[in-house]
Amino acid sequence: MPVTVATLLGTPSLALTLHTRSAPVDRAISWVHVSELADPTPFLEGGELLLTTGLALQPDMAAAYVRRLARAGVVGLGLGTGLSHAEVPAELVAAADEHGLAVLEVPRQTPFIALSRAVSSALAAEEYAAVTRTSTVQRELTRAAVAPGAPGTVVDRLARHLGGWALLVDAAGTPLEAAPPSARGRADGLTAAVDRLRTARPPAGAALTQPGETVLLQSLGTGTRVRGFLAVGRPGPFSAGDRHVVNAAALLLTLRLEQSRALDSGTAALRAAILQLLLAGQTAAAEPVVAALGERLPGEPVQALAVLGSPEQRAAAVDVAADAAAHVREPVLSAQLDDALVVLVPAEGPLAGRLADLPERVPGAVLGTAPPVPWARLADGVRQARQAAGYGRAAGRPVTAFADLAGRGLAALLDPGATSAFAEAALAPLAAADRAGPGDLVESLRVWLAAHGQWEPAAARLGVHRHTLRKRIRRAEELLGRDLDSPGVRAELWLALHPPSP
C-alpha cells in the first residue's frame, strides 16, 4: 500500500499531530522535501510532504503560502515547532483546511530526517512489493500460456489482475478471447486504433485515455506481419508494474500466435496454387482443394479485386477481406499473384461493396476492381483488376475500377515522365531545326495531324499556302526519318505532340 499522511500519523515514534480537520490524509506521498523558502514550488513536482520550521513564514503570508503549495500538488505540510514557531499558527491551519492541505505538527524532538527515512523505507517496501507482485503475476501468466485453454486463460488472468477487462482480437480486428465476455463489445470502438497499428512493424502500442478509463492497445507479432492485437482497460492510469504485466502478456500471446506461422505460409502457397488452377480454367479441380480448407468458391459471376502495396499491406488486406467476408457470410478467396494480392468475391452480394473501403483500413494499399466475369474468363478479370490497380497507384488513387480507364483516354494511362521523355526525343530533330530556322516545323506538323493530313484545312489554319505546308511536312519527314503516311507513325507523333500532364 502507498505511504500516506495517515501512515505517518499512525507511526508512534514520530509523535506527529494533525491540526487540520477536513483536509484529506489518504493521498500517496511521493517524497519528502525540506525547504525554508517563502515559495518552494519551483523545486516541487507534486505529491511531496513538505517540511519546514516556518523561518520565512509570516502571519500575513499564510494564505498565499498554502495556496501555492496546494496548486503545486503538495499532499501535506509538516511544521516543526519549537524553533521559529512555538505552535502551529491558527491562520495557517485555517488556510490549509480551505485548500485541502493536511498540516502536521512535527515536535522538536522528532528530526526531519526521521520522516524522510520513514517515507523512504515505506516507498522502498512498496516498490519491492510491486516487483514481487509483478513477478508472481508474470509466472502465473507463463503457466497459463503453456496450459490447455490458452490464450483464453492468459486473457482471463490478465483482466483479473488489472481489475479491468482484456480483449484479444485477430489481425482483422475480430474478437478471439475476452474477459469478461462482455469485453467483446469493445472491439468496434477500437477499429480506428487497430487500423492505425495494423501497418506498423510489430510490436507497436498506443494508449487511449477516456473519461474514467485508460486503454492500452498492443499489436502482436514478430518480423513484419501483425498477428493480432491485445487491448486492456481499467479505471484510472496503469502503474509501471501493471504495464510490465501487460507487456509480458503481449509477449506470451505473440508466441502462441506465431506457432501458426508455418501453417499460414503453407496455406498461402496452397491458395496461390488454387488461383493458378482457376486462371487455367481448372475450376472443377480447384473446388475439392478449397473444400479441404473448409471454404468454398464464390458463385458465378465472380468479381476480381487486385491489391497493390508492400508485403505487410497485402498481408493486412488478407485479414481485412476475411473479416468482411465473415461479417456478411459470403465466400472469399485471397491469393498472392506476383506482386499483387488477388481477391475473388461474389459479384452479386454486399461483400464487394464492403471491400471498397479496404485502402482506408490498410493505409497505403491500392485497390483495383474488374467487371464481373464467369469462371471461364477469370484470367481476363484478374488482368483487368491488376491494370486498374496499377493505374491507381501511378495516379495516386486508392480505388480504381477498370471501367474508369476507358473514360479517361489513353494519355491518362501513360506514365507522364516516360511519355515526356519519348516526346522530347522523338521531336528533337524538328525542335533543333526550329531553333536554327523560321521555327515553324513542330507547329505545322501539329496542325497537319489535327486536320487528318488534309492540306487545305491545315494550310488555312496556319495562314500559309498549301504548297508551303507541303514543303514543311516533307522537310519534317526527312528530319525525322519516318514515313508520315503511316498511321502508326502519325499516332506516335500525335502522342508526342500532346503528352499527358504530370
Checking if the pLDDT of 412 tops 70, the result is no
Percent of the chain scoring above 70 in pLDDT = 91
299-322: pLDDT as tens digits: 889 999 999 988 878 887 887 887
Which residue's C-alpha cell is 475450376?
283
Give me the phi and psi of 230, to 5 degrees please: -115, 125
Q: DSSP secondary-structure letter at 322?
A: H
What's the average model confidence in pLDDT over 382-401?
A: 88
Task: State the virtual CA torsion across 274, 280, 283, 284 in degrees, nearest 10.
Answer: -100
Q: Residue 214 pairs with which residues in a beta bridge?
A: 209, 234
212-269: pLDDT as tens digits: 889 999 888 876 677 789 999 988 888 777 888 888 888 888 877 665 554 456 677 8
Q: How far apart are CA 217 and CA 341, in angstroms?
A: 28
Q: How far apart are CA 117 and CA 124, in angstroms?
A: 10
Name, in order, each residue with C-beta under 8 angstroms of 286's C-beta and a sequence gap of 6 or more: 274, 277, 278, 297
Q: Grade residue 414 by pLDDT with cuts at 50, 70 and 90.
A: low
Checking if the pLDDT of 9 tops 80, the result is yes
| Helix 428-436 vs helix 416-426: crossing angle, to nearest 10 | 50
167-193: pLDDT as tens digits: 988 877 778 888 899 998 888 888 888
Give me the phi and psi of 388, to 5 degrees please: -65, -40
Q: DSSP secondary-structure letter at 212?
A: T
Residue closest to 368 by CA, chosen among 324, 330, 405? 405
Query: Which range has highest mean pLDDT (1-5, 34-38, 202-206, 423-427)?
Result: 34-38
Predicted pLDDT at 262: 47
Q: How far apart are CA 27 and CA 25, in angstroms?
A: 6
